[in-house]
């Protein structure tokens, strides 16, 4: 029986335990860095105070999500060897940082709601 079809794994999914916490643990510097990035991202996302405004909440949640992607991409650049993934990691850092800046701008200067159609 494969790990993905095991009862404990399927139970963990049904009660909301993150998949990464159920995977076999390989103690490498890269995996430790990935784990630190994920923990930091999830902690920051959990600290976001939801406002009920979809645009504001989306922007506030995406900032730590994108920052987590940047940290994971940095780990790929530090430890990875596949040139395709290293190139993708470089692109992720640039694009996600740009998106974070846009998200921060929208939080500082939200748009007025569009008038409702008549």
pLDDT digits (tens, 9 = 90+) for 41-71: 999 999 999 999 999 999 999 999 999 999 9
Q: Can you give the pTM of this predicted structure? A: 0.73
Mean pLDDT over 85-98 rounds to 98
Mind listing the pLDDT tens digit for each residue in 16-42? 555 555 555 678 999 999 999 999 999
**If residue 50 lies in a helix (H) or strand (E), which one and from where to where?**
none
Delimit the domains of the chain by residue range: 26-108
- Cβ 23 vs Cβ 68: under 8 Å: no
Question: From CA 31, how far away is CA 29, in angstroms rounded?
Answer: 6
| Helical ranges in 15-82 per DSSP H | 19-22, 29-46, 54-79
CA distances (Å), origin 53, targets 26, 61, 82, 86: 41, 12, 41, 37
């Amino acid at each position: 029986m494969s790990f993905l079809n095991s009862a404990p794994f399927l139970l963990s999914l049904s009660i909301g335990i993150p998949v990464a916490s159920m995977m076999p643990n390989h103690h490498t510097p890269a995996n430790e860095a990935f784990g630190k990035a994920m923990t930091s991202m999830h902690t920051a996302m959990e600290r976001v105070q939801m406002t009920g405004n979809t645009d504001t909440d989306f922007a506030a949640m995406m900032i730590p999500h994108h920052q987590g992607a940047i940290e994971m991409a940095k780990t790929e650049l530090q430890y990875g060897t596949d040139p395709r993934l290293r190139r993708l990691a470089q692109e992720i850092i640039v694009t996600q940082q740009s998106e974070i800046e846009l998200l921060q701008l929208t939080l500082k200067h939200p748009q007025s709601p569009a008038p409702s159609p008549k």
